[in-house]
Amino acid sequence: MTATRPSFLVRHADIIFSLKTFLAAVMTLLFALAMDLPRPYWALATVYIASQPLAGATRSKAFFRVAGTLIGACASVVLVPNLVNSPELLSLGLALWVGLCLYISLLDKTPRGYMFMLAGYTAALIGFPSVSEPSLIFDTAVSRSEEIILGILCASIVSTIVLPRSVGPAVSAQVDSWLARARKVSQQVLAGHGTDQATRELRLKLAADIVDLDMLSYHLAYDRNVSRDTPRWLRALRLRMLTLLPLLSSIADRLAALGEDARTSQPKLMALVDDLSRWIGSGMERDPADELRATISAQLPVLHGGSSWNEIMIVSLLMRMRELVDISQDCRALSQAIARGGRPDGARLMFRPEAGVAPVRHVDHGMALWSAGGAILAILMCCAFWILTGWADGASAPMMAAVGCSFFAQMDDPSVGLRNFAKWTLVSMIIVALYLFAILPGISNVEVLLVALAPPFLLFGLLIARPSTFFIGMILAANTASLMALQATYSADFASFANGGLTFFVGTEISTITILLARSVGAEWSVRRLMRKGWTALAFAAESRGNRDRAAFAGLMLNRIGLLAPRLAAMPDSKLSQIDSLRELRVGLNIVDLRRARHHLSPATLAAIDAMLDELAADFRRYEGGAMPGALLTRIDHALAEAMTETRDDARGDALIGLVGIRRGLFPDAAAYRPEHLSNAGSVAA
């Protein structure tokens, strides 16, 4: 019995979540009615908004929802009484508050951003309906806070006590799935298929999955069933996952550069490649890994001034293969540690990344400001309609504008989300109308009421439990609970219900049109913007001195690639989908490595490398896609020629590896480097 219970919980997780959420909703409604709270339906809606299938996720969202509600309530108490006599100023004040909070939330890519977004539209939900009775704003804000906190407490208690589902196993399962696909990609790369379009697309999908794993990992701190060390091992694993993708791209490039005849010209090297592929597929045990490292070290040729291009490429490939062994072994040990909540097996981790680097994520101040401006404009347009028409129930229009524009601000085209929001709210209104005017009038006690509410709300819980229908379920549950407006006594009025519904759709339609005209962009526009940000980052990396910033650069670039991947998948026929973003990441990492190696180089080599990097930075600042200028290739080859004359083995090796990586990344189809080609050319003009 004990052995089958976990599989039962996993197999029926959706049903269990739905039952638990309805139980929390029943508790909330009964407590709210017993406490004589003025709007118990707010508490009921909060349960479905705050509840998540994972216990840690419910607690983290609950915490941020409480904080956001209190901040928004305070803002409404400050704004409404002071500006109620100037409707235009009050509308502007609330709109600016929503815009400011939305701007901050879009800059914060963690679940904490939800707190700021909620603080914005909570002020609108409290403030706009209170315009007719500003003297009651404090009582309204307090009751709103009480009802939301009650809903959050009930949701958190039930999620924690009743068959809790920990975040830890979900993270572990996602990690295992990612690593399984990464092993498949690694074997495809080592088999010589790394440049195939299918392999490139799979690498992009892995980058996008890291972004999803980031969001899930934030909830670990709120899960009491997770070991204290698990977040630490997950951070270590994430850094290796980030490093693995450009590493595989680099190995694929080196194998492609050696060509198909490498099987006959370099039999030992290719036998080692096959051994590495078999080891990755067989489970990555420690003893074969040590043997692979020893074989790699034995095959490494020593670079010198007369080394051929082929020897340089072999050294680069072997060094990347050694990193692949270290990272693969560490990933296996760390994933096992996360799964069991202990320490990794073995004496120590093998891959030594830069220490002390916090995760770096893409932040777009321009888009955040644009989205906030669109929300402000939509709210003001709804307010203008409300004021000019004198519609008594017109407060619902700017309220819905604030909520809708906040929810869908991260979409390339928020108007699509707003349309769907309106569509599913219409479904909610049909359900509510059925209950208000056909079912509820015949109910005389709370027990029968709860039985009557069970069918739709249990269905909503099932929809929320599934990622593909989460959004639909949350809209249906929250809007059905809010629009039904359950009170201690039945007081439904069809005219009021219809009027409120009409106001909602007016607000949503005005918001949709405003956002469509002022804010919506296509996926291709967003892809170009993200790519341009990446090119600017490459220019910045070339201009910087690059001390211990390799991991930070990789994190930023891979986070952008993770944002690119789903957009590129949605537009397979676009020319942009043919651009290899991992190639640019490899170039950036080689730039950072080259900057770090510069302190041990001679003045002549330094001058050549700095001149090359300056030209590379200038080229990427005006880059729009396509081929790089041929003058940059000449600069790179001149820097290679100078680096070949270095007397220190470590300095020469580091410089050559970095320059080779840049050359192969930017000019993969260029002829092989030949130092004698530059022997009579002299110095390249500065």
Mean pLDDT of 620-646: 86
- The HSE-up count of residue 214 (CA atoms within 13 Å, CB side) is 24
Fold for the domain defined by 167-222+228-340:
Methane Monooxygenase Hydroxylase; Chain G, domain 1 (1.20.58)
Among 492, 494, 584, 480, smallest CA distance to 530 is for 584
Neighbours of 655 (CB within 10 A): 28
Mean pLDDT of 103-109: 88
- CA torsion 551→557→561→563, rounded to 10°? 100
Amino acid at 293: R
Q: Are 572 and 260 in contact (CB under 8 A)?
A: no
Question: Predicted confidence band at 572 (pLDDT cuts at 50, 70, 90)?
Answer: low
State yes or no: pLDDT of 466 exceeds 70.
yes
| DSSP designation for 646 | -
Furthest-apart CA pair in the chain: how many Å? 100
Q: Are 663 and 640 in contact (CB under 8 A)?
A: yes
**Average per-residue pLDDT in the chain?**
82
Residues 6+ apart with CB under 8 A from 253: 194, 195, 583, 586, 664, 665, 668
State yes or no: pLDDT of 365 exceeds 60.
yes
Question: Predicted confidence band at 570 (pLDDT cuts at 50, 70, 90)?
Answer: low
State yes or no: pLDDT of 378 exceeds 80.
yes
Q: Where in the chain is the domain with CATH 1.20.58?
A: 167-222+228-340
Token pair belonging to 371: 């989205």
Rounded to a whole number of angstroms, the distance between the first and last alpha carbons of the chain is 77
Task: Give me the pLDDT at residue 266, please.
Answer: 87
Task: Give me the pLDDT at residue 9, please.
Answer: 63
State yes or no: pLDDT of 682 exceeds 70.
no
Task: Give me the pLDDT at residue 686, please.
Answer: 35
Among 109, 228, 220, smallest CA distance to 172 is for 220
Task: Give me the pLDDT at residue 104, please.
Answer: 94
Task: Give me the pLDDT at residue 647, please.
Answer: 78
Residues 6+ apart with CB under 8 A from 280: 183, 186, 187, 190, 328
Task: Give me the pLDDT at residue 576, please.
Answer: 66
∠ Cα 584 586 591 (to 5°): 95
Mean pLDDT of 640-656: 80
Of the listed ranges 259-263, 275-279, 285-289, 604-608, the least confidently predicted one is 285-289
More confident residue, 559 or 353: 559
Task: Give me the pLDDT at residue 455, please.
Answer: 94
Q: pTM of the full predicted structure?
A: 0.79
State yes or no: pLDDT of 684 exceeds 60.
no
Task: Give me the pLDDT at residue 456, please.
Answer: 95
Mean pLDDT of 379-400: 86
Give the C-alpha separation, 361 to 364, whole Å: 10
Give the C-alpha separation, 349 to 329, whole Å: 8
Q: What is the pLDDT of residues 210-249, one digit of tens each?
A: 777 777 777 776 666 677 777 778 878 887 887 888 888 8
Mean pLDDT of 58-64: 77
Mean pLDDT of 637-664: 83
Among 281, 261, 243, 244, smallest CA distance to 192 is for 261
